[in-house]
Amino acid sequence: MNTFLIVLEALNVGFLQTLKLFAVTLIGAIPLGLIISFGSMSKFKPLSVLVKTFVWIIRGTPLMLQLLIVYYFPGLVLNNPIWGSGESGRFIAASIAFILNYACYFSEIFRGGIQGVPVGQKEAGQVLGLSKSQIFFKITLLQMIKRIVPPMSNEIITLVKDTSLSRIIALQEVIWAGQSFMKGAQGISGQIWPLFFTGIYYLLFSGILTIIFNKLEKKLSYFKT
Amino acid sequence: MAILEVKNLHKSFGKTEVLKGIDFSLEEGEVLSIIGSSGSGKTTLLRCLNSLEFADRGTITVAGESIFDSSVDLKARSEKTLREKRLYFGLVFQSFNLFPQYSVLENITLAPKLLKKATNEEIEKTALELIDSVGLSEKINNYPCELSGGQQQRVAIARALALKPQILCFDEPTSALDPELTGEVLKVIKSLADKNMTMIVVTHEMSFAHDVSDKVIFMDSGVIAESGSNEILTNPQSQRLKAFLNAFGK
């Protein structure tokens, strides 16, 4: 029993780091994704080509590789280890990689959401004398949100589990914490069950998110687009 | 003086010339019907009037105010003046284009409130009167998805009227409706004509056009092939209009 409590406490600490990475990624990637989606829809060709190339590179390579590059490139290639060696440096590097990666995926969802709103909605706003920003915020935005809730919930639930990839740069998240009991953390070694037990955390958290997204979908079901 | 004057309007999309020099004028309180087969340029003409498209050549003048003049550089015009010029016209779309997330009342009050046309109380009072005039007082809190097509189009008409346009345009207002629902929409348009609202109606409803119009324009391949009073619908002069009306079984 005592062992169980020790393990549970360590896993809780690890999961807190998981949650932190999850939250920081969302807070950074949603606005950045919106900016990227506007960039990819820009009528200024050089900008849209540049943005689309960036999205292609990020979506076309593994997130794990991106984590390794962001973390090791400054120190090992530029001889300028800006992240330091501590946990906070690893967290910043992981956050940057996750935000860039998820912003690119989100941007495609946003683009689909914006372009999916019928052009007649914008024109109706135009003939009523509304400005571009009034049309976006008062007419298009909510219809876009309604359209993107299902794909976004998919992507966000994937993010919950993708945070475990940060294990590769030794970020001390919940998988790292579970694994540590195989190698003698706090005098406990050779135990595989703490690692397996981390699955419960992911299950519970993605379960909560599923409920939240279902509620949101229901809340937006009062109108049809 | 004419309230609307359109002179020498030309518009091309790529290599296709859709409008090949359109000239007409309209007096205040008159109803103009524009008829013609699809692809003849009717909708493009309406969209040019409402600044959803910009003509390549020509001028549009409303009550002495220049709405469009191809000799003035488009880019020199600010978005603000463009928005002000749009408000001379109202437009009712074929597919209604109500805002789905807003109730009937909110659809009508949204733009006047954003444009600060009056106090919120006055705007809501006007909106309720307009809803009453299109016969939908019981639906003020309903959402568009809960209304029939005919009811949605009546809300769209009230929404356009809420901004008090000088000229109200209709782009095939009943074409997306089931036949049994066209009557209620045409009745509303007729009642506006009786109140001397200046209107331009693009339509395929020939008997309605005959009933409501002071002027009729028949468009064919980007030109006005025939125009005149509503009598041209019963007594067409040109071969092309005769053939067109024959195809409608008139």
Contact B224, B24 (CB under 8 A): yes
Residues of A whose CB is below 8 A from B99: 121, 124, 139
State the DSSP code for B119. Answer: -
What is the extent of the structural domain holding A208? 2-222
Binary contact (B110, A138; C-beta < 8 A): yes
Among A154-163, B77-86, B138-147, the least confident range: B77-86
Q: What is the pLDDT of residue B249?
A: 67
CA atoms of B229 and B28, how far apart (whole Å): 15
Q: Residue A23 CB: number of other CB atoms within 10 A?
A: 11
- pLDDT, tens digit, for every residue of B156-214? 999 999 999 999 999 999 998 888 889 999 999 999 999 999 999 999 989 999 999 99
State the DSSP code for B225. Answer: E
Residue in chain B lying closest to A132 (CA): B79
Contact B38, B204 (CB under 8 A): no
For chain A, the DSSP string reads -HHHHHHHHHHHHHHHHHHHHHHHHHHHHHHHHHHHHHHHT-SSHHHHHHHHHHHHHHHHS-HHHHHHHHHHIIIIISS--TT-SSHHHHHHHHHHHHHHHHHHHHHHHHHHHHHHS-HHHHHHHHHTT--HHHIIIIIIHHHHHHHHHHHHHHHHHHHHHHGGGGGGGT--SHHHHHHGGGEEETTEES--HHHHHHHHHHHHHHHHHHHHHHHHHHHGGGS--
Q: pTM for the whole thing?
A: 0.84
Tokens encoding A65: 């590789």
Q: Residue B140 CB: number of other CB atoms within 10 A?
A: 17
Q: Residue A182 CB: number of other CB atoms within 10 A?
A: 15
How many separate domains does chain A show? 1
Tokens encoding A220: 């937006």
Please give the ipTM for the structure prediction.
Answer: 0.91
pLDDT per residue, tens digit, chain A (225 aa), is: 588 888 899 999 999 999 999 999 999 999 999 999 999 999 999 999 999 999 999 999 999 999 999 999 988 888 888 887 788 899 999 999 999 999 999 999 999 999 999 999 999 999 999 999 999 999 999 999 999 999 999 999 999 999 999 999 988 999 999 888 888 878 888 888 989 999 999 999 999 999 999 999 999 999 987
Q: What is the pLDDT of residue B168?
A: 96
Residue in chain B lying closest to A221 (CA): B101
CATH code for the domain in which residue A9 is found: 1.10.3720.10
A–B interface: beta-carbon pairs under 8 A: 60
Helix (H, G, I), strand (E, B) or coil at B229: coil
User: What percentage of chain B exceeds 90 in pLDDT?
Assistant: 78
Binary contact (A126, B52; C-beta < 8 A): yes
Q: Residue A61 CB: number of other CB atoms within 10 A?
A: 12
Residue in A3, A67, A64, A16 with CA at minimum distance from that of residue A201: A16
Binary contact (A128, B159; C-beta < 8 A): yes
**How far is Cα of residue B164 from the mean position of the Cα atoms in its chain?**
13
Q: Please name the member of B83, B99, B145 whose beta carbon is closest to the beta carbon of A139.
A: B99
Q: What is the pLDDT of residue A85?
A: 78
Q: What is the pLDDT of residue A12?
A: 92
- pLDDT, tens digit, for every residue of A139-197? 999 999 999 999 999 999 999 999 999 999 988 999 999 888 888 878 888 888 989 99
CA of B148, closest CA in chain A: separation in Å?
14
Residue in A119, A122, A112, A102 with CA at minimum distance from that of residue A144: A112
CA atoms of A32 and A12, how far apart (whole Å): 30
Q: Which A residues, 128 through 187, put their C-beta within 8 Å of a C-beta on chain B?
A: 128-132, 134, 138-139, 142-143, 146
CA atoms of A66 and A27, how far apart (whole Å): 19
Work out the average pLDDT over B208-222: 93
Residues of A whose CB is below 8 A from B143: 222-223
Q: Which residue type, as a one-letter code, is found at position B51?
A: S
Residue in B112, B18, B89 with CA at minimum distance from that of residue B56: B18
Q: Please name the member of B50, B97, B101 whose beta carbon is closest to the beta carbon of A223.
A: B101
Residues of B whose CB is below 8 A from A122: none
